[in-house]
Structure formats: C-alpha cells, structure tokens
Amino acid sequence: MKDMAKTYSPNEIEDKWYKKWEKNKYFAATLDNEKEGYSIVIPPPNVTGILHMGHVLNNSIQDTLVRWKRMSGYNTLWMPGTDHAGIATQNKVERKLATENLTKEDLGREKFIEEVWKWKEEHGGIITKQLRKLGASLDWDRERFTMDEGLSDAVKEIFIKLYEDGLIYQGEYMVNWCPRCTTALADDEVEHIDKEGRIWEIKYPIKDSEDYLVIATTRPETMLGDTGVAVHPEDERYKHLIGKSVVLPLLNREISIVADDYVDMEFGTGVVKMTPAHDPNDFEVGERQNLEILNIMTDTGKINENGGKYKGLDRFEARKEILKDLEELGLLVGSKVHNHAVGHCYRCDTVVEPRVSKQWFVKMKPLAEKALEVVRNGEVKIIPKRWEKVYFNWLENIRDWCISRQIWWGHRIPAYYAEDGTMFVARNMEEAKAKAKEKFGKEVELTQETDVLDTWFSSALWPFSTMGWPEKTPELDMFYPTATIVTGADILFFWIARMIMMGLYEMKEVPFKTVYLHGIVRDEQGRKMSKSLGNSPDPLDLIEKYGADAIRFTMIYNTSQGQDVFFSEKLIEMGRNFANKIWNASRFVLMNLEGFDKNSINKDELNLELVDKWIYSRLNTTIKEVNEKLEKHILDEAAKIVYEFLRGDFCDWYVEIAKIRLYNSNDEIGKKTAQYVLWDILEKGLRLLHPFMPFITEEIWQNLNTGKETIMLEAYPVLNNNKINKNIEKDFEYIQTLVSSIRNIRAEMNISPAKDLEVLIKSSVENELKVLEENSIFIKNLAKLSNLKYGRNMERPASSGFRVANGSELYVPLEGILDLDAEIKKITMQIEKIEKELAKVNGKLNNEKFVSKAPTAIIEREKKIQKEYEDKLSKLKANLESFK
C-alpha cells in the first residue's frame, strides 16, 4: 500500500486527475451497441460566459448522474457545447469597440462579425476550462458550438422545412422591442417586474364642443401616437359620441371615437386611448376598427418626426415635457400612484417598448399540441411534477414566436429578396438565384435578409443537431432521444418546451425522457445571486479555497428536488470537513494494512463478528437506497445516505471498533478480518461516493492497489441482498445506544473522556444479554470503561447516572468520580440563572402589547430562545435528580 499525505490538499490532486482522465479519454462515449446508451446534452453556457454558482449546481447534478450511469455499465455521452448568445455577445463586442471610439456601423457587417469571431476565440474557452476545474466529465472531443458549420446547416434546414410547411411566416405585428439592444424580443424574453408608477388623467376635447373626455394612461408619451379613442358600445354615457372625433392634445390632430367590446365600462372613466403602434391590445382593436398605425419612436426609444416638437427626446424625457405642457394648458386632471407590471429586457434590463414591426414568426399552436400530449401521456416526465401545471398553462395559451432579431451576430435568416420584393427562402445565395431564375426566366440580383434568428431557435435543435443531424449519424442512432435534461426552471419555456416541439417535429420522437428542473441559487437573504448585488461568489475562488469536491457535495447535499438553494460559504465547510474525515479514515486504514494482500486472503478463514456483519448489512442497505434515490433523481437524499454511511457507520463506528482487533497481537485472525473488512468497505464506499466527489475518491482508491486503471470506469456497487440483516443491524444499534448513552452521561456530568468508568447494565432481554456477552470488549473500549457488569438482577447504585437503552437500564456510579455536593451546588446555580432568563422571555411573550407590535421575526426569535431555555432547564433538573 502507498503512503498518503498526512493532510488532504485538494489543489494538489484535482488538476492532476482531471488531466489524466481527459488525456486517457475516460469520458468518451463509444458507438458500442453492446451497452445501453445514456446521454445528456449540456445546457450550453454562453460562449463568452464565466462560471457562476448556478452553473456549479447544474453541472454537479449532471456530472453525478453521468458518472453514476457510466459506473453502472451504460455507454454514456455527456455532450458539451456553448451557445453563441446573440444579443449578449454582440453587446460585449460593441462595448469593446466603444472604448476605441468605434461603432459596429463604422466597421460594417462583415468586419464586425470578424471582430466577434476574434472575441469568441479569445474568450470562448474560459467557461469550458472552468467546467474542467469542477470535474465535469464531458466528452470534450464532441464539443459543439451553435455557430459551427454543422449546427448552422441544421438551423437552415429546419428553418426551410418549417417555412415550406407553412409554420414560419413574415408579417407586421406587435412585438416587444428593446431600445438598448435595438431588436425585437419574444414574449418570454420579457421579464415583468412589479413597480410603483403613476396613472395620469388627461382631458381630450371633443371636436366642435365645449365638453371633453377624460382618459387615464400610465404612459403619457404614447399619446403622440393615438389614432383613436374607444368606448364600450353599450355604455350609455358615451353612445351619443360614437362616430364623432376628439382633438388630440398637443398635436391638435383629429381622431375618431369608436365602439369596441374590449373597453371595460367599470374601469377608470370607461374611455380608452388607442395607440395601435405601441400597445398590443390597442393593436388588436385598431385592426378591428381600421385605425391608423402610427409609430412615434425610433429604434433607440426616442421620439421620431411623428411626435411634433418632442422629436429627438428620449421617451421618458418626452413624458416629463408632455406632462408639463398638458398642465400649462389645463388639460392634466391629476395623477395617482399605480402599481403595475413593467416589462424589461431579460438581457439588459431595459424597459421594453411594445412596437409594431415587420418580423419573422413561428406558428406555435400546431407544434404545442404535440408537446402537450407527450407530457400528459408520460413520454416526457417533468421533475418536480408540480411544474407540469405551469408547462400546460403556458403551452395552452401560447402565442406565435417572434424569431427574428435586428442584430448582426447570429444565424442570418436564409431569405433572399429581388428588387421587386419577391422573396426566396434557400440554403444559400446560389440556391436562391436558381429559384429566382426559374421564376423570372433570367438571372436577377438578390440581397439577403439582414435579420438573424433568435438564439433560442438554434438551441431548440440542440439534442439532435449536436449529434450530427441533418446527417444520419451513428450518434443519433445510439444516443437520441437523450435520457435526461438538467436545467433551471426559469428556462422551461425558453428552451425545454421548444426542444420538445422541435424534436417531435423533425425527429418524430421526444428529445429526452426526463426533465430535471433544479431551483435557483440564492444568497442567505433569499436574493438571486448577481454581480450587481455583489452577492455572487466566484466559484473558482471557492474551488481554490475548499476544493471542487467539497463544493460539489455541498451543493447537491443542500439542494432538495426543485427547491431554491440558499447558499452561504459557511455551507461548504460541511463538504470540506467530510472530505477531511474520509481522507483521515482512509489514511488510517492504509497505515494499518501492513502484511495485508487482498489476493491472498482466504475468506473462509476470516472470523466475521457482529460488527463486521453489521457494516456489510449497512453497506448493502446504503447501496440499495442510494441507487433508488439516484434513479428517482433525488440527489440530495442519495448524498445524505452516502454521507451517513461513510462518516457515521464507517468512520465513527467501524474504524474505531476495528482498532481493537488491529492492535491485539494475540488475535491474528481477528486482525486479518478487520484488515480485510476495512479494505473492502473502504473500496466499495469510495465507489459509492465517486459520482459526488470524483477527485478525492480517485486519489484514495489509487492507493488501494486494486490493479485497475481508474475508479470512474469501475462498477458502481451492486446490492447483495443476502448481506442485509435487519436483526444484525438491530443488535448493533443496541451497542450504539449503550455507548452513546454513556458518552452523554459523561458530557452532562462533565466527566473527562480520559476518566475510566464502571458501568452496570440491567436487562432481562435474552438477546441483549447475548450481545453484551459477545461484544463487551468493544463496548468497554468505545466507552472507555474500567469495568462492565451486566445481568438480570443488577441494582442501581446510589448517586449514579441513569439511562434506558432499549430493554436495558444503564447505571454509571458517580461516587468517587465527582464531588457530589459541589456538582449539586453548581447545577442548582445554573438552574436559578436559567429560570431568571426564562422568566424574562416568558414575560415578553405573555405581554399582549409586545406580541401585537413586534415583527414576526422577533417573536419567532424569542420563542426559539424560550424553547432552548426550557430544554436546558429540563436536562439540568434531570441531572440534579440523578445526583440526589
């Protein structure tokens, strides 16, 4: 056996092992049909992104599943790749150009795209290097990028097919517009945030009358684009005005008064201004009422030439000027606070502007129907199940998807235009020109569509495009559909639903069988982690400080299925302490295997005692439960079960008991038995732990002289049901209860752990007496006893500690061990002190004035303190009685 370093140092082992794993291609999938395939495609991080705590959680979950399946005999493919992140990446490059006093327009489209590719080459590998630091066992030889040649071809093929099937169309409709990114956004790319705003009431004079209509609005600047005023056709207050006109304040433009059922008679004044170019509801009313669509804003959110004297002002500056002018004219009735949801761009947080624009759309309802069906019939299982309801609700109310973006970085839409506007959708210019020649009978000049596709369009193809589609590849045969997709619930619609739709549309199969949605990583206050809040730690700093294994284990251990994670750095201490415990116990085992050779052991010569049979029973119970939990994707419980077995059963109990036989020179068979069981349990335990903590398990396992290459290609422990014996476990639990009871009496009585004690155990249970007879040496050593007496007729000595352990009564004589009078006095003083403190807390909680006015958190804190005092008091009084 090799010597292990005295202290566990993750920095010394993690890089070493990852390089070896990758160099030897241990992560690589094969096209071997003899093994069942298991595949996961990575949610592609942004190519210019860096690792954050959400990535740590997501990839730790995926890697645990992949390593477990790989060890369980599956041919595993974890597909790596990155996303070109159209808007985000273009913004980064534009900001870089701005430092050089340049814009993308200064460079022109081609040169700008060259700059983006340079940026990608320079920064694109950062996050993949960081994933290696985490231990992610991705098949790096298959790494893809959404803008690589193969995936770009896949995007064109799907676009053309959808277009030819009538599922992609171009039209002028209301879209969400980001003035910062100067592009359209899909509905689900808009984050609605509740904000306190105002609602203003404005007089609109009725033409040829002294009267006026009062109209309420939250966006006064949009009145510049009003082309009508609507009332309900049944509203008696306004029936006589239908068909007449009002004069639009500030611009003095006449606009019609129309009747439409959309208007709510009970809300506000029952009169609604109509701005069809800047409000989705007004757009629909405008279409029905044949109102003019008048755009009043530029791409960047400034007022255009249709806004009169306000031309050139930013929309929010224009609002201030408009309100000031209305007040001066006596047309502003007043305003009041109004809370409402305001749409923000999910990329840059700018307030979006609804705007009519010519865009490309995908018809979603025909695709959504099938995507609904596969979740309803169980072909796709969403975990946690509660998210199914949200999924159904979104797809049942789905709107067409705006897929065009007015940026330069991305998949350019494969549409080409002749001078007369005739459009040809084709894979390339040559194909488009051939189609044009066939139509016009001659060669014509064509120009390509300038818009690019929404980044999520290419991501929707990810499970099959990454495996070589549109070619028929062995990877598709072997690994599609994939098994599991792991992602945050926040992109259920952006990505998951669209992948299901596209998989069913093109491949005629679901893209994955299971959707595992994990929660969001938040700070201790429940806030989502972000750079702007300064509450997001750098995972690489944490890895440097604690090691990747500790972080991975901590994140999985503390993440209940589908629940958000409340992260603090202090949590990682648990993972680090666990790693240290495993390291130290393993080092002890290896140091005590002198003369041991697993290959020369004759198992028939071993003498397995209760403790040995118990640890094997616990091992197999653990194997059974861990595999069951992993199969159900309950990873936190699987981690807890492994933790309890290795840290508690193995390190705290078995290793401690094994020392008795290891150091007993008179029992050679006992020593050999202890050595063999220590080696065997440790080896299997490391394999159990490996998917969760790959680095430390590989390092220790390599010291066990197994003669094998790597732990990650060894079999995951398999249940041996014959070794589970609940009676054995019950017998050993009796020993644990006895030892723990003695230790508790020591702690409560302040008896030094080094002080030898005498213990008496009274029991009339035959099996308990048998366990005591056969295992007294272990109990004496574990509890540090000078003497252990047991039997049916033991009497409790005066002044003794007392516990009940199953069917036994346990007595610890205290006379001669402690100064009883001094202990009684000390405990009495402690009781008096705590009673005073408890009285203060009770006084507060019994005071109606305090309870009615104090915040809930303060009351809960006081109740917690009350409970702690009551518990302490109860224990002290019990101790006092035992002394008396």
Q: Give binding residues as ranges.
A: 531
Phi then psi for residue 389, to 5 deg, are: -60, -40
Q: What are the residues facing 212 on neighbouring strands?
A: 205
Tell me how far apart the alpha carbons of residues 156 and 171 are, in angstroms, rounded to a whole number: 20
DSSP, residue by residue, 753-791 = TTS-EEEEEEE--HHHHHHHHHHHHHHHHHHTEEEEEEE
Residue whose structure tokens are 């433009």: 253
As given in the structure block, the two tokens for residue 723 are: 């070794």
DSSP, residue by residue, 175-230 = EEEETTTTEEE-GGGEEEEEEEEEEEEEEEEBTTSS-EEEEEES-GGGGGG--EEE
Angle between helices 539-546 and 569-591 (to 10 degrees): 30
Q: Quick one: three-class SS letters along 221-251?
A: HHHHHCCEEEECCCCCCCHHHCCCEEEECCC
Distance of CA 643 to the CA centre of its chain: 22
Tell me how far apart the alpha carbons of residues 229 and 275 are, in angstroms, rounded to a whole number: 9
Phi then psi for residue 600, to 5 deg, are: -100, 5
**Tally of CB atoms within 10 A around 37:** 22
User: Taking a C-beta distance cutoff of 8 angstroms, is the pair 711, 697 a contact?
Assistant: yes
Reduced to 3 states, what is the DSSP secondary structure of residue 351? Answer: strand
User: Taking a C-beta distance cutoff of 8 angstroms, is the pair 735, 778 a contact?
Assistant: yes
Residues in the annotated binding site for ATP: 531
Between the alpha carbon of residue 175 and those of residues 186, 358, 362, 432, 524, the distances in Å are 7, 9, 13, 29, 38
Tell me how far apart the alpha carbons of residues 367 and 500 are, in angstroms, rounded to a whole number: 9
Residues near 19 by beta carbon (within 8 Å), at least 6 away in sequence: none
As given in the structure block, the two tokens for residue 59 are: 């990839």
The answer to whether the Cα torsion of 128, 132, 137, 142 is positive or negative is positive
